[in-house]
Structures are given as structure tokens and as C-alpha cells.
């Protein structure tokens, strides 16, 4: 019989055995998986663990603060934040191809993370402390399957959180969630006392808002999308719909403009797409029949409050044929 308390106790013992007195590094993404795997390892080995959070500038509103304040407070994890927004945006300049964006974001993430790893390794050496030997990954069972770990699965999009490790940083992996599904991971996170705002969070792709701007990613466009996304999330939460929706990407069609009328003036702004989906595992999905009054509220708030947006549209495509994300 599955029980989160048992899994935690079992994993803690395994992690302690695997690690000994070595040091461990973990990357926090702001998502559920890395939050829970990091907290689990921290519970097992305390300050032998250092968590690293790379702010790539493609985060949603409030995400960095949630990690730096709420998460750290509830877990006691020692955290290093890397400010990499400018570097990421620089490399994304002029790039519109979705897989190209993923490649760049994945590569830059590894670079930023690698730099901190090397610093921590050097620091451990200098202080004569225990060596840094391990890396925590929040890999879930479905990640393993969808990245080609299972027989006969096609790699449709290159998920950058699996298999992208550089060879020269020779770490052993700790993957305490490798056999688990999302709902089990959430149960463990709650048991560990991680705030609901993080544990209950819907899936958010590693490349972040970078693949929800259709077209080139710029600071200006990110600001627009961040505001629209925050409004949609707020209204969905207010309406009590978080549990019913698997996730709701909010997408900015940055290269599309349409005519509108706002106040007494003609506008020529961008559309925002709402993509609410219901799903069991993200392999297939259906569009969620959201109540009209909630859609209406979101649409009014976005068109009234977000600059350069004059239209909100609803994506009514299932997966297949559409993927959940637009890129």
C-alpha cells in the first residue's frame, strides 16, 4: 500500500547511505519536482546540500520570490540564486524557432549551473571540507518514459532536464522521484511541509515563458506575457479551478496584430491565447470547458490592464493533434 510517509523514510535512508559525508548540489526550478526532490535530500543530509536557483528571466510573476522566501523558510535549505536573465535574453536575441529556443535555454541553464558547481567544488577544496560528489535531479517516471527511457517512445520535444549533463563535471545523480508520478510527488511535498503554492503548482516547462512567446523573446514581450499570465492564474485560483485544470498555458502571439478599439481610439495590438487543458499525464489532453464568466473576467482584466494586448482567444484543441504548449 502506497504511503508518503513510508516513501520519505525509505528515501532518506537510501540517500544517507548513497551520500555518506560528501556534499550535494541541487537545482531548483521553481517547479514541484525539483522542490520536492531538494527538500527530500535536505531532510536526509541537511547542510551537506546546497540548492541553486537560476533566474533565467523567463519566470512567471512572483516565482523567484516564492523560492527565495517561502520555500527557504519552510525547508531551511541553503540557497544560491544566479541572476542570468541578461545572459539568456542576449542569447535568445533574434531566435524564433521553438527547438532552437529550447536548445539555447537548456545550454545556458547548464552553463550557469556549471559555473556555480565549479565554484562550490573549489570552495569545498579550499576549505578542506568533504568533496562535492552528487547532483539531485527531480526526474519523474513520466520524464524517464517521454525522453526515450522507455521502449518505443518517440522524443517529440527535447525535454532539457534529462540527459543534458556535461561530462567534465563528474557527479553521481540522486533521483529520489524516479519511480513516482506527479500526484505522489505532491503528497510527499505536503508531508514535508512545502508551501501549497509550490506543491499545488501546475506543471510549468523548464524553458518557461520563452516558449510561450510565439516569435522572438524580448524583455518587453516577457513583461506583457508575465502580466497576462498572472491575471489568468489569479482568476482561475479565485474560481477554485486549480484542481480541475492540468495546466493553463497563457501564450503571447507576439508577431500577430489585430485591430481593436479601446477608449475612443483604434488599437493595433497582440492577441493572448488561453490554453486550459485537462489531462492525466500530459501525454494526451482535452481542452477544459471553463465557465464563461471566468473566461469573461480574465479577458476583461487582460485587455483592460495589459498594455499592447487588445484581444483574448481560447484554444479549443485537444492533444493530439495540438500539443499542450504552442511551441
The reply to whether 4 sits near ligand XMP by the rule CB under 6 A is no
- Which secondary structure element, helix H or strand E, spans residue 269, and what is its range? strand 265-274
Q: Give 152 or 265: the residue with its C-beta nearer to ligand XMP.
A: 152
The reply to whether 271 sits near ligand XMP by the rule CB under 6 A is no
Say how many Å lie between the first and final Cα of the chain, rounded.
39
> Using CB under 6 A, which of 62, 203, 215, 260 touches ligand XMP?
203
The reply to whether 276 sits near ligand XMP by the rule CB under 6 A is no
Closest Cα to residue 70, out of 233, 189, 215? 189
SS3 of residue 114 by DSSP: helix
Residue 101, burial from CB neighbour count under 10 angstroms (0-12, 13-18, 19+): buried
> Using CB under 6 A, which of 50, 137, 161, 310 touches ligand XMP?
161
80-88, 89-97, 158-166, 167-175 -> range binding ligand XMP (CB under 6 A): 158-166
* Sign of the dihedral defined by the CA atoms of residues 19, 21, 23, 27, in that order: positive
Q: Which three cell numbers stand for residue 20?
A: 555518506
The rounded distance, in Å, linking the Cα atoms of 53 and 44 is 20
The reply to whether 319 sits near ligand XMP by the rule CB under 6 A is yes
The reply to whether 275 sits near ligand XMP by the rule CB under 6 A is no
The reply to whether 87 sits near ligand XMP by the rule CB under 6 A is no
Closest Cα to residue 289, out of 263, 313, 316, 262? 316
The reply to whether 159 sits near ligand XMP by the rule CB under 6 A is yes
Q: Give 146 or 235: the residue with its C-beta nearer to ligand XMP.
A: 146
The reply to whether 206 sits near ligand XMP by the rule CB under 6 A is yes
- Kindly list the residues in this chain that would bind ligand XMP in the complex (CB under 6 A): 102, 157, 159-161, 203, 205-207, 247, 282, 319, 323-325
Amino acid at each position: 500500500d502506497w504511503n508518503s510517509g513510508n516513501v520519505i523514510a525509505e528515501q532518506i535512508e537510501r540517500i544517507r547511505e548513497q551520500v555518506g559525508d560528501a556534499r550535494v548540489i541541487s537545482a531548483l526550478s521553481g517547479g514541484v519536482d525539483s522542490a520536492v526532490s531538494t527538500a527530500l535530500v535536505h531532510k536526509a543530509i541537511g547542510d551537506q546540500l546546497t540548492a541553486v536557483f537560476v533566474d533565467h528571466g523567463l519566470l512567471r510573476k512572483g516565482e523567484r520570490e516564492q523560492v527565495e522566501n517561502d520555500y527557504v523558510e519552510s525547508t531551511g535549505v541553503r540557497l544560491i540564486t544566479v541572476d542570468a536573465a541578461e545572459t539568456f535574453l542576449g542569447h535568445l536575441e533574434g531566435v524564433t524557432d521553438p527547438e532552437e529556443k529550447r536548445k539555447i535555454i537548456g545550454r545556458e541553464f547548464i552553463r550557469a549551473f556549471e559555473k556555480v558547481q565549479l565554484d562550490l567544488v573549489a570552495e569545498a577544496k579550499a576549505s578542506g571540507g568533504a568533496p562535492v560528489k552528487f547532483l539531485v535531479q527531480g526526474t519523474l517516471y513520466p520524464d524517464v518514459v517521454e525522453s526515450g527511457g522507455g521502449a518505443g517512445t518517440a522524443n517529440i520535444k527535447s525535454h532539457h532536464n534529462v540527459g543534458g549533463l556535461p561530462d567534465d563535471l563528474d557527479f553521481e545523480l540522486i533521483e529520489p522521484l524516479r519511480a513516482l508520478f506527479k500526484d505522489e510527488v505532491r503528497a510527499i511535498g505536503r508531508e514535508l511541509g512545502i508551501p501549497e503554492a509550490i506543491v499545488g503548482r501546475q506543471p510549468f516547462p523548464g524553458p518557461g515563458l520563452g516558449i510561450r512567446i510565439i516569435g522572438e523573446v524580448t524583455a518587453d514581450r516577457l513583461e506583457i506575457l508575465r502580466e497576462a499570465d498572472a491575471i489568468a492564474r489569479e482568476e482561475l485560483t479565485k474560481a477554485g479551478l486549480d484542481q480541475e485544470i492540468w495546466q493553463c498555458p497563457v501564450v503571447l502571439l507576439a508577431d500577430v496584430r489585430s485591430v481593436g478599439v479601446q477608449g475612443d481610439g483604434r488599437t493595433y495590438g497582440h492577441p493572448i491565447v488561453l490554453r486550459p487543458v485537462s489531462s492525466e499525464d500530459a501525454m494526451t489532453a482535452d481542452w477544459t470547458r471553463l465557465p464563461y464568466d471566468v473566461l469573461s473576467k480574465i479577458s476583461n482584466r487582460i485587455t483592460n490592464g495589459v498594455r499592447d494586448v487588445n484581444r483574448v482567444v481560447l484554444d479549443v484543441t485537444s492533444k493530439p493533434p495540438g500539443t499542450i504548449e504552442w511551441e
